[in-house]
Amino acid sequence: EFRGRLGLHQTMIMAAEANGYTRRDYRIDQGNIREILRYAFAPIHAASSMISLPGILSNVANKELLAGFTEEDQTWREIAVTKPVGDFKAVTSYRMLDNMEYEELSPEGKIAHGQLGQESYTRQAKTYAKMFALTRVDIINDDLSAFSDVRTRLGRGSSRKFNNLFWARFLDNAAFFTAARGNYITGATTNLGLDGVGLEAGVLKFRQMKTGDDKRVDGAPDRLLIPPELQFNGQRLHQSTQVNTGGAATATSVPNDNIHAGKYRPIVQNRLSDATFTGYSATAWYLLRDPQILAAIVVSFLNGVETPTVESADADFDQLGVQFRGYHDFGVDFAEWLSGIKSKGAA
């Protein structure tokens, strides 16, 4: 029956008709908006009808919100592991500090019991939310673009909140990366220079790490987390096959192959050097493992839902329009300190 796009007016009137509204035309104006909203948001009386305005608007809004959410920075996924939680209570997890190394079977055939480490961390999800509304003016104007714009912005707003909380938590890491744990280096030679000296110090420190009961950690880092100030050094160390030193100033033969090429993929995060974050630095950098093997950070999502949700309903009695609420349930916590090292990059 329609030609062209299906706008807000047609969508809302179709939902109202499913609940018994008698249509005069497919326009909403000052004279019929209250009645249409009342019918559209009422419980559906027609048993065979599948039209639900809250459902229609929420489904469309969630698609736009997801687009807005994923368009924002997703670098957190490069260093974090995600885990579900079933409620908002704190969950205790134990770090990978155990004695599960196999032992030779005794002549009696008795197998020794392994034990989990006693060092634990907690993780917990919380709710973050925002509301917006399609006003009476938006509806009468059939302003579908206003609806699309606001819901996309809501998705971006959710992502920005998530990123700000995630990186604020990560940068507040003075008790996580420490000299006592062996995952922190400092000094003038720990800067991320093109000579590779600082990077080599970080790799060595990673390979020297041990658990609390003096057991070595196998594996190797494969990613380099850096602020934008170190982006080009990080990329050159990763991509360049040669590093030229000496030149005409010396007659000494020196190797010029870049032994780090292709090994430590640079991940640039602008917030690392943002002065509004506690623990920011333009010189600090991190060597980290694949988070699917061992992660420094764990993100807990309620019921495993990683993206925000939008719901819609009729506006309050004192406001003509349609209200939407977006919410996101998550938590960010430190996890495995054996997952990588931090370099101060300065004395």
pLDDT digits (tens, 9 = 90+) for 139-170: 666 555 555 566 667 778 888 899 999 999 99
Which pLDDT does position 78 carry in this prediction? 97
Residue 42 vs residue 181, higher pLDDT: 181
Which pLDDT does position 151 carry in this prediction? 63
Percent over 70 (pLDDT), the chain? 73
Which pLDDT does position 314 carry in this prediction? 61
Lowest mean pLDDT among 187-201, 222-236, 323-337: 323-337
Beta bridge partners of 297: 80, 334
Q: For 58-95+119-244+256-347, give the CATH class.
A: alpha beta
Domain ranges of the chain: 1-51, 58-95+119-244+256-347
- For residue 338, pLDDT over 80 is answered with yes
Which pLDDT does position 50 carry in this prediction? 38
The Cα–Cα gap between 285 and 273 comes to: 10
- For residue 179, pLDDT over 70 is answered with yes
Assign 161 to helix, strand or coil. Answer: helix
The Cα–Cα gap between 33 and 20 comes to: 15
C-alpha angle with apex 86: 85 to 89, nearest 5 degrees? Answer: 80
Rounded mean pLDDT of 8-25? 74
Assign 210 to helix, strand or coil. Answer: strand
